Each structure stands twice: as structure tokens, then as C-alpha cells.
A and B are shown apart, each in its own frame.
Chain A
């Protein structure tokens, strides 16, 4: 598999995993927008969960979401109004775990094997997120929307 092809497969499996997780467990229809590259590691939203990947690919995947959107998603997931911040933070970690885990399974069928860490959740906007490498690298950002509202950003860093 060429690097370009592999990269395309990774992006596609992450997008379909996110859509699937939101549909089956959160009961929300989300849509991705065109991925873009950005420099810098500051978190884009209030709560960011990051999972590292090690194996055939090395890197990390982060989900960054604002507190309101996260509260909405987790309330939907539990079928209960959730306002407890600890619970919202925990939920963002688990949603990220579900998305990355599902993408991992799809990719393993395409002969791309790797292990994933448990999620680490960081709060605050503009906070430095510890993606695998530390220097001025570029991240791929995939924005996700619910109807016409920006809902969360998923970011991928892959070591060359």
C-alpha cells in the first residue's frame, strides 16, 4: 500500500467510525467536512481527548469538543440530562475510544495493525495537546457538523 493510499484509508475509516458511533450510540447524525492541515498543537475546543497509536502506524488521534456540544452528546447517549462536568469529561474520553477503536478494527482488515492507548482527557481551549511528536508539526483536522452547527474537531497526527 502506498503511503498516500494508506493515509486516505486512515482518514476514511476515522470518518466512517465517527459517523457510525454517533448514529448507533449517541443517536445523532453528524457529517464531516473536508479535512485540512494546520500547524500548532493548541486545542480547538474546551475538552480534548487524545489516544496514541503504536504499530504499523505511529501517532495520535484527538477529539476536541466544546462543553455544550459534549453535554448534548453525552446526555443523548445516556438518555438523561447530564450536567456533571466529570461525567462529560469521562464521556468525551469514551466517545474518542469508541471512534478510534472502530477505525482500528477497519484498518486491521486492511492489514494496518496497531495498538491504542486509553484516552487522556485535557480541558481548556488553546491548551497544548501532546501529540506524538513535539515539534511544530502539522495536524490533519477533520471538522464534524451536526446539521449546520460545528460540533467537534477530530485531529490526526502521524509520524513520518
Chain B
């Protein structure tokens, strides 16, 4: 059965790259896409198995979105990977404090993304 992944990024090109990278890494995925945290909150449900989200987005950024996901008992079990250009240690820690489970910095290669994902997918 394919893996239900919610991909949140304000760039549609970046969302496509993430989908391609996941498929290239051998994951059989069903991708749900959203352009910011607000849209993602409307699309998320308990059946989503993984969230990959950008940080800097209009409307609602990835950090506020992650907090909301982790506050909701229906969605807090979903692992969140932050995929962002924010690469400093301070930002990384801020994200973990908000409930983000792991962190991948952009630019990234499909291999780099796969390594992180393997931890969350069996």
C-alpha cells in the first residue's frame, strides 16, 4: 500500500521535486500537496503517515503549522520533517521545540532525504 505523504511548500516546483525525490528513492507514495500551513491544515487527516513541510511560507509558516499538528490529538502521531533553507543550529532547535521530528536542509539530494525518511518508515 502506498504511503500517504503531505507535502507543504509555497513553491510548486519544490513540491514536485520532493515528490520526484521520494519516488526516485524508491518510496511508493500518495502525495497530498499544500502551498502553506493554512491549506495544509485543511488537507491533513489522521490517515496521513508523514508530513514534509517548508518553514518560510506566506499565510502560515511551517513552525506554526507543526505546533497545530502536534496539539491536535488526531494528528499528533504524524511524523513531521522540516525541509528548509534555515540551516543554523538555533533554527533547528527552535523547530524541535515546536514538535518537528526531524530536519533536512535545502539544497538537498534525494539520498539525503531518503536517509531521514528511513527512520520514520518501516
Which residues of chain A have C-beta atoms less than 8 A from B105's C-beta?
Answer: 105
Complex CA distance for A21 and B108, rounded to whole angstroms: 9
| B84 (CB) vs chain A CBs: closest residue | A101
A to B CB contacts below 8 Å, 8 in the list = A20-B107, A25-B107, A91-B13, A94-B11, A97-B11, A101-B85, A105-B86, A108-B90
Query: In the complex, given contacts A79-B20, A98-B107, A108-B88, what are 5 additional A-B residue pairs having Cβ atoms less than 8 angstroms apart?
Result: A94-B11, A98-B85, A101-B86, A102-B106, A108-B90
Spell out B's residues near A (CB within 8 Å): 10-14, 16-17, 20, 56-58, 84-88, 90, 105-109
**Secondary structure of the A contact surface, majority rule:** helix
Given contacts A79-B20, A87-B12, A97-B11, contact A109 B85 (CB under 8 A): no
**Complex Cα gap A91–B20 (Å):** 15
Chain B interface mostly? loop
A123 to chain B, nearest CB (A): 16
Q: Chain A residues near B107 (CB, 8 Å)? A: 20-21, 24-25, 98, 102
Interface residues of A (CB under 8 A from B): 20-21, 24-25, 74, 77-79, 87, 90-91, 93-94, 97-98, 100-102, 104-105, 108-109, 116-118
| Neighbour of B13 across the interface among A20, A21, A94, A100, CB < 8 A | A94
Q: Is the CB of A105 within 8 A of B106?
A: no
In the complex, which residue of chain A has the Cβ closest to the Cβ of B16?
A78
Known A21-B107, A79-B20, A98-B106: A74·B13 in contact at CB below 8 Å: yes
Whether A104 contacts B10 by the Cβ 8 Å rule is no
The interface residues of chain A lying within 8 Å CB-to-CB of B11 are 90-91, 93-94, 97
Inter-chain contact B85/A105, CB cutoff 8 Å: yes
| Interchain nearest-CB distance for A74 vs B (Å) | 6
Give, as a whole number of angstroms, the nearest-CB distance from A110 to chain B.
11
Q: Are B88 and A109 in contact (CB under 8 A)?
A: yes
Return B37 CB to nearest CB of chain A, in Å. 13
Q: Which of A87, A90, A100, A117 has the most CB of B within 10 A?
A: A90
Residue ID in chain A nearest B57 by CB atoms: A118
Q: How long is the Cα–Cα vector from A56 to B38 in the complex, in angstroms? A: 30
Residue from B17, B105, B108 whose CB has the most chain A CB atoms within 10 Å: B17
Do A104 and B109 touch across chains, with their CB atoms under 8 A apart? no
Set of chain A residues within 8 Å of B87, measured between Cβ atoms: 101-102, 104-105
Q: Please, how many angstroms separate the alpha-carbon atoms of A54 and B85 in the complex?
A: 16
Q: Are A105 and B88 in contact (CB under 8 A)?
A: yes
Q: Measured between C-beta atoms, what is the minimum distance from A51 to chain B in Å?
A: 10
Q: Note all chain B residues with C-beta closer than 8 A to A24.
A: 107-109
Interchain CA distance A77-B16 in the complex, whole Å:
10
